[in-house]
Amino acid sequence: VQWREPPTIRRLEESVTNRIAAGEVVQRPSSVVKELVENSLDAGATSISVVVKDGGLKLIQVSDNGHGSRLGTIRIKVDLGGDFREPDHLADCNGYVVVRVRQYEDLPILCERHTTSKLTSFEDLQTIKSMGFRGEALASMTYVGHVTVMTITDGQLHGYRVSYRDGVMEHEPKPCAAVKGTQIMVENLFYNMLARRKALQNASDDYPKIVDLISRFAIYHTNVSFTCRKHGANKADVSTVIAASRLDAIKMVYGMPIARDLMEIGASDNNPTRSVFEMDGFISSANYMAKKTTMVLFINDRLVECTPLKRAIEVAYSATLTKASKPFVFMSIRVPSEHVDVNVHPTKREVSLLNQESLVNTIQDAIESKLMSSNNTRTFHTQA
Ligand code: ADP
Ligand code: MG
C-alpha cells in the first residue's frame, strides 16, 4: 500500500465562506423578494411595492413606508461604577456619575453578516414575532449582487443613500431626498456566480414566482397595500388596497370567480395531549376547477410550506368530490410558539411543527366534513 500525503487543511477566507452561505439564503430572485418584503413588514410598512427587471436578474426594487433605518444612534449611558444604565435610572444613583456617549451604527452595518435589530439572544428565537432574525439576508445579497439602500426615518429632513458590496459600505452614506420609509435595490444578481446566472437565464423567468409570492403576502396582510410590476410596465400584476376582509383581499388578488367558489373553514384542537392549534381559512368548493393545487399557508404569521398538509388536503378533495379538481386553499394556523421551530432552514421556508401528524389529520377531517356537507347542500338545492 502506498501512503499518500494527507491534504493540508486550510481555513477558508471569510469572503469565500460568506459567498457560499449567501448562495444558500439567496437561491433565486424570488428569494430576494421574499426577504425584502419580510423586512418591510418587520419595519411596520402599510404599503409595499415591488419592481422587477429581467426576472429579477437585472433589478429587484422593494419600496416601503416603514420606520426606515438611521445613520446611527447616539445613546447616552451613565456609568455607575462599571454598571451602564440608561439616563432615566439617574435617580437611583447617589454619588458621582460618569456620562458616556456611545455611537451606535445602523446604516454602516446594515448589510454586515449577522447584524440584526430583531434578535438579541438565542432564547428569543422561541418567541420571535418578526419575520427576520438571522441578520443574513441583506448581507447575503451584497455578496451575490449590488445593493443600494435609500432610507429616511421619522422627523428627518433628508434620507440617506448608500451602496454595499460584500457586506460593507462602498462609500459614506450620502444625504438624499426621500419619501417615508426604505427603498432597497438589488442589481445584477449572481453577477459573480455564473453557473447560477446561466441556469436562471435558461429556466423560465422568475417573475411569475415573484407575482405568486406577492399575491400570497397580499391576501394575508389585509392591512398592507401591495403592488408588483415589471420595470417600465404601466400596469401592475398585483395591486391591492387595504382590504376590509380576507375574502375581499382574495377577490382583489385572485379575482371574483375564485372568491365566489370559496367556503370559510375553521378547526382547532385543544387537547393538550395532542396538538394545540387553531386554523382558519378558505377552501374551494366542488364548483371550483383547477389543474394545480394552490395552497397559501401561514403558520404563526409566516408564509411557509408544509408538504404533508398539502398532500392530506389533496386526499380529502379526491376522496370527497366526484370530479376531483385540485383545490384552492388559504389557511392560517396558529400554534404555541414553542411548538414550531422556525430555524430549520436559512430560507425559513419550511418550519417544523410539534405533533404535525395529528394536526394534519384534524385539518384533513375538518375539510372532508366541510366538503361533504356543502356537497349535500348543493344536491339538495338542485333537487328542490
Ligand atoms: P434580519 O431581517 O434577519 O434582521 P436582514 O439582513 O434582513 O436581517 O436585515 C438587517 C437589518 O436591517 C434588520 O434587522 C433591520 O434593522 C434593517 N432593515 C432591513 N430592511 C429594512 C427596511 N425595509 N426598513 C427598515 N429597516 C430595515
Ligand atoms: Mg430580514
pLDDT digits (tens, 9 = 90+) for 111-122: 998 999 998 888
Indicate which atom in ligand 1 lies nearest the CA of residue 130: 2
| 22-32 pLDDT, tens digit each | 888 899 999 99
Q: What is the mean pLDDT of residues 1-7?
A: 87
| 353-369 pLDDT, tens digit each | 888 898 999 999 999 99
How far is residue 224's CA from residue 214's CA, in Å, rounded to a whole number?
11
How far is residue 370's CA from residue 50's CA, in Å, rounded to a whole number?
37
- Residue extent(s) of CATH 3.30.565.10 domains in the chain: 14-68+108-239
Query: Nearest 5°: phi and psi at 316?
Result: -55, -40
- Residue extent(s) of CATH 3.30.230.10 domains in the chain: 261-383
Distances (CA, A) of 264 to 192, 225, 249, 330, 381: 48, 23, 14, 10, 19
In the predicted structure, residue 320 carries a pLDDT above the cut 60: yes
Q: What is the mean pLDDT of residues 7-30?
A: 90
**Model confidence at 75, in pLDDT bands (50, 70, 90)?**
low
> Does the CB atom of residue 116 touch ligand 1 within 6 A?
yes
Distances (CA, A) of 51 to 18, 110, 161, 201, 282: 27, 22, 18, 18, 29
Q: Which of 116, 136, 184, 186 to mutate to test the pocket of ligand 1 (most atoms within 8 A of CB)?
A: 116
- Average pLDDT over the chain reads 88
Indicate which atom in ligand 1 lies nearest the CA of residue 62: 23
Q: Tell the residue nearest (CA) to atom 25 of ligand 1.
A: 68
Q: Which of 25, 37, 39, 71 to mutate to test the pocket of ligand 1 (most atoms within 8 A of CB)?
A: 39
> Does the CB atom of residue 64 touch ligand 1 within 6 A?
yes
**Residue carrying C-alpha cell 364548483:** 287
How far is residue 228's CA from residue 93's CA, in Å, rounded to a whole number?
55
* Distance in Å, CA 39 to ligand 2 centroid: 5
Residue 330 CA to its chain's centroid (Å): 17
Beta strands 225-230; 47-53: pairing state: parallel
Q: ipTM more than 0.95?
A: yes
How far is residue 47's CA from residue 34's CA, in Å, rounded to a whole number?
15
> Does the CB atom of residue 346 touch ligand 1 within 6 A?
no
User: 210 or 15: which carries more pLDDT confidence?
Assistant: 210
How far is residue 197's CA from residue 384's CA, in Å, rounded to a whole number?
60
pLDDT at residue 378, as a whole number = 54
Q: What is the mean pLDDT of residues 55-73?
A: 93
Q: Which CATH class is domain 14-68+108-239?
A: alpha beta
Q: What is the mean pLDDT of residues 126-133?
A: 87
Ligand nearest to the CA of residue 111, numbered in listed order: 1
In the predicted structure, residue 383 carries a pLDDT above the cut 50: no
Percentage helix, strand, coil for the chain under 3-state DSSP, each rounded to 5 = 35, 25, 40
pLDDT at residue 25, as a whole number = 86
> Helices 137-144 and 29-42 sit at what angle, rounded to 10 degrees?
150
Count Cβ atoms within 10 A of the Cβ of residue 136 and give its class: 0-12 exposed, 13-18 middle, 19 or more buried: buried
> What topology is assigned to 261-383 in CATH?
Ribosomal Protein S5; domain 2 (3.30.230)
How far is residue 35's CA from residue 52's CA, in Å, rounded to a whole number?
15
Cell (9 digits) for 13: 477566507
Q: Which of 138, 182, 183 to mutate to test the pocket of ligand 1 (most atoms within 8 A of CB)?
A: 138
pLDDT at residue 382, as a whole number = 45
Q: In what order do the strands lie in the sheet with 277-284?
A: 262-269, 277-284, 328-334, 294-299, 302-303
Q: What is the mean pLDDT of residues 330-354?
A: 83
pLDDT at residue 24, as a whole number = 84
pLDDT at residue 379, as a whole number = 47
> Does the CB atom of residue 180 touch ligand 1 within 6 A?
no
